[in-house]
Amino acid sequence: MQFLKSIAAAGLLSFTVAFPAIAGTPAEDIEAANKAFADAYNAGDAMGVAAKYTEDAGLLPPDGKRVDGQEAIASFWKGAMDGGLKNLTLRSVEVDSREDLAFEVGAFTLDAPGEGGSITTVAGKYIVVWKKGEDGVWRLHRDIWNAGAAE
């Protein structure tokens, strides 16, 4: 019996270690998801970025039409990568949640290619509506941003 208890405890421990991202508060989980988002973007992995969104997610990019669904979202971010936008950083400013829905206000920077090989760092702000799946993972559900300081 003691042996079974040890196995169960070890199993629980493994489970906790295997899913660190869903063990925290919504704010902690979303911060971890943002880090994974930026890592995927900066590795040029557009599909990996799109996988952070819900299946029926919608992007609302400045000066563009709404972009719906993971496939179109992957194409959108591939376009940004191909356009030379690099070194994405994301920073949560605030998160508030109810049940499986959260909103986040955040700040981002991106390095954009300028004239004569120069680099301009563009700063902006965003609101992301996050939705928690039945698997306990928070995913971007609606995503809108514009230029200018978040604070």
Does 1 help bind its own copies (rule: CB under 8 A)?
no
| 134 in contact with its own copies (CB under 8 A) | no
How do beta strands 67-68 and 138-147 pair?
unpaired
> What is the total count of residues that contact its own copies (CB under 8 A)?
29
Interaction pattern, residues 9-28, with its own copies; x per rule: CB under 8 A: --------------------
**In this complex, which beta carbon is closest to its own copies, that of residue 115 or of residue 151?**
151
Do residues 59 and 65 make contact, with C-beta atoms less than 8 angstroms apart?
no
**Binding test (CB under 8 A) with its own copies, winner from 19, 35, 66, 122:** 66
- Whole-angstrom distance, CA of residue 68 vs CA of residue 144: 12
Task: Describe the strand order of the beta sheet including 119-132 as a list of residue ranges.
Answer: 67-68, 53-60, 138-147, 119-132, 101-113, 86-98
Chain residues binding its own copies by CB under 8 A are 58, 60-66, 96-101, 103, 105, 125-127, 129, 142, 144-151
